[in-house]
Structure 1
Amino acid sequence: MKTYFVYIVKCKDNSFYTGVTSNLELRIDQHNFGIKPDSYTFKRRPVELVWSEGFSQVDQAILWEKKIKGWSRRKKIALIESNWDDLVLFSKNYTQFGNKINE
């Protein structure tokens, strides 16, 4: 059975890039080698893998990739750090939580 990975890399400029692949090691190498000059990570190399999750179905992996791409930076950091309390907090309406959001 094939595994599909959703992954987050941290770029040299501290931004995050989220993608999906069936070969995680090769894909990270491709990001760092710079295969496509017009890609997001090309001018932000090197990149570092900071999070990944495997899925058995490609459609599930693509769904999660799209969800994560829509998340705020702080929510992505909570995921990377396995900080489930903040992940839940940052999934709610920001106006409900006062200073915790601005920390």
Structure 2
Amino acid sequence: MTLFHDIFTPQVLEWMARFCFGYPFVMSWYWIVGSILYWFIRERHRSEYTSPPHLLETPLVSVLFPCFNEADQLHETMVVLMDFLATQIMKPLPSMMAQAITPEKY
């Protein structure tokens, strides 16, 4: 007999097959029951989200973007990024955007 047959006997192969089916089956039920219990215990009593909390001042934001070997496209990337920030996040800042994006800075 070979080493393979010595290690992987029919009993071991049967145990491995049961484990490969049983473990995902048991864990799926574990997650289903856990998520239902979490909803009943925690989420059910939470208030509905209506609007973000009022802040005393606007928080500072850092934006990091990769630009390795992108010197030719850096200005275009910054224009698009500042446009996105001005239109989607910081609504009332077109004058600041015009001051921040100038070709001379790059």
TM (norm. structure 2) is: 0.20
Question: Which of these two proteins has the greater Rg computed from alpha carbons?
Answer: 2
Task: Name the one with the larger helix percent.
Answer: 2
Question: Which structure is higher in strand share?
Answer: 1
TM-score (normalised: structure 1): 0.21
